[in-house]
Amino acid sequence: MTDISLAPSRALMGRDYRTLALAALGGALEFYDFIIFVFFVAVLGNLFFPPDVPDWVRQFQTFGIFAAGYLARPLGGIIMAHFGDLFGRKRMFTLSIFLMALSTLGIGFLPTYASIGIAAPILLLLFRILQGAAIGGEVPGAWTFVSEHVPERHVGYACGTLTCGLTAGILLGSLVATALNTAYTSADIHDFAWRIPFLLGGLFGLVAVYLRRWLEETPIFLEMKRAKALSSEVPLKVVVHRHPVGIVVSMLMTWLLSAAIVVVILMTPTFLQKVYGFDALTSLQANSIATFTLSIGCVLAGAIVDRVGAGRFFLVGTVALATVCYAFYTLMFTRPDLLFPLYGLVGLLVGTIGAVPYVMVKSFPAAVRFTGLSFSYNVAYAIFGGLTPMFVTLMMQADKLAPAHYMLAICTLGFATAVYLWRRGV
């Protein structure tokens, strides 16, 4: 198989910034659709499951449906990546966001358990699976797309900027949830207002589909097509047989990314309410601050990794992330007045994950890059990101510092991976 390398060294140009901006904006709108679910876990648990079960069981069941979106990611991602490596990045890039818009609108219109009984959680599960299939093609497709549009020496910055867009979708979800909790009472949200963020998400998705009309296919894919260098075999077969090390490294780095996002950003607002006693509005405001600093951290991480390499960057980044996470979850019991600044600092360090796609892009040749990223990222996220909410929820029954201890363990694993990358000169 002939490899077409990433774009040669040159300065970033206006068209590069335009591509990054459009890709990041579309990614933000689609990621909002995928994660808005988690901000309404408590409400959805009350509405879509029987009322006569313990609160923690409802929470566990609802996080289970949330996890189903992650478990569905590999199937959608691998299928879209297969055709993306053979027929073009842009087509699959647009299809994923269209599927996301339809499934999010579906959730917004769903009848509740009180109306249709057991059919309600089943339909919620089906729409969540469709969301997972859509995001499975979106994220690795987006990283592949932007990395192949920019010069090689700016791949980290491009991936960090795109990841900033994805995390901005989380921020948008947090802001929408905060606005709803400000504008409506708990009873209003329970009765009808919970539908608003999902209906908005469907509209956001359709806007993103329109925006992607202005993107162009990547120069690297067009060059491979012209040179007849596209994979002549099934891309997934090539990835599994010829690039096992790239798969393992990418999956380990995805574990770090998924733990940081799922535990520290998506689950912590619930922990702040259930464990530390903060009200919903304060928790969401703090989460908005952390997600904002996370977005900044992603861009900084991408720019830094271009200059120092992935090994050196993650040797420092994983230690820093572990330290601030442990401090945050420990101090919240005794210093609740430090919630906003501490959570903001944690969010900035979570931005370390903005450099993760740099490692994955470098792990696979262009002809199977989309498939390599998609397989590694989605399978790992399905296992680790999908099961983490339920695992940490169960851990919390015996250990109130479970989020801190889980992050310490994963950062240790990330540090070990960084040692390997450093020794390989990555």
Sequence ranges of the domains in the chain: 14-423
Give residue 137's pLDDT: 74
Average pLDDT over residues 20-24: 78
- Higher pLDDT pick, 326 / 242: 326
- DSSP 3-state of 3: coil
pLDDT grade for 343, boundaries at 50, 70 and 90:
very high
Greatest mean pLDDT among 61-70, 169-178, 218-227 lies in 169-178
Give residue 225's pLDDT: 56
Average pLDDT over residues 3-10: 52
**Which residue from 107, 283, 322, 309 is spatially nearest to 202, judged by alpha carbons?**
107
Q: Residue holding tokens 């720019």? A: 303
pLDDT grade for 227, boundaries at 50, 70 and 90:
low
pLDDT grade for 140, boundaries at 50, 70 and 90:
confident
Compute the chain's Rg from CA coordinates. Answer: 21
Give residue 340's pLDDT: 96
- pLDDT reading at 223 higher than 70: no
Give residue 85's pLDDT: 63
pLDDT grade for 68, boundaries at 50, 70 and 90:
confident
- Higher pLDDT pick, 369 / 358: 358
Give residue 2's pLDDT: 39
Q: Answer whether 259's CB lies under 8 Å from 410's CB.
A: yes
Average pLDDT over residues 177-205: 88
14-423 CATH: 1.20.1250.20
- pLDDT reading at 240 higher than 50: yes
CA 236, chain centre distance (Å): 22
Average pLDDT over residues 2-13: 54
Give residue 171's pLDDT: 84
- DSSP 3-state of 209: helix
pLDDT grade for 229, boundaries at 50, 70 and 90:
very low
Q: Answer whether 39's CB lies under 8 Å from 285's CB.
A: no
Q: Answer whether 273's CB lies under 8 Å from 279's CB.
A: yes
Q: What is the pTM of this model?
A: 0.80
Give residue 10's pLDDT: 61
- pLDDT reading at 346 higher than 90: yes
Cα separation, 135 vs 182, whole angstroms? 29
pLDDT grade for 1, boundaries at 50, 70 and 90:
very low
Give residue 4's pLDDT: 46
Give residue 252's pLDDT: 95
- Higher pLDDT pick, 141 / 329: 329
pLDDT grade for 111, boundaries at 50, 70 and 90:
very high
**Which residue from 167, 170, 105, 98 is spatially nearest to 134, judged by alpha carbons?**
98
pLDDT grade for 115, boundaries at 50, 70 and 90:
confident
Q: How wide is the angle at C-alpha 345 spanned by C-alphas 343 and 348, nearest 5°?
A: 110
Q: Residue holding tokens 């998506």? A: 266
Any idea which of 29-38, 69-78, 220-229 has the lowest mean pLDDT? 220-229
Query: How many helices (H) and strands (E) in the chain?
Result: 21, 0
Residue percentage of the chain with pLDDT more than 90? 31
The widest CA-to-CA distance across the chain, in whole angstroms, is: 64
- pLDDT reading at 8 higher than 60: no
Average pLDDT over residues 180-191: 88
- pLDDT reading at 7 higher than 70: no
Greatest mean pLDDT among 32-36, 180-184, 249-253, 399-403 lies in 249-253
Q: Answer whether 227's CB lies under 8 Å from 350's CB.
A: no
Cα separation, 324 vs 155, whole angstroms? 28
- pLDDT reading at 13 higher than 70: no
Residue percentage of the chain with pLDDT more than 70? 85
Which phi and psi angles does 50 have, rounded to 5°? -55, 140
pLDDT grade for 393, boundaries at 50, 70 and 90:
confident
- Report the 10 Å Cβ neighbour count for 232: 9
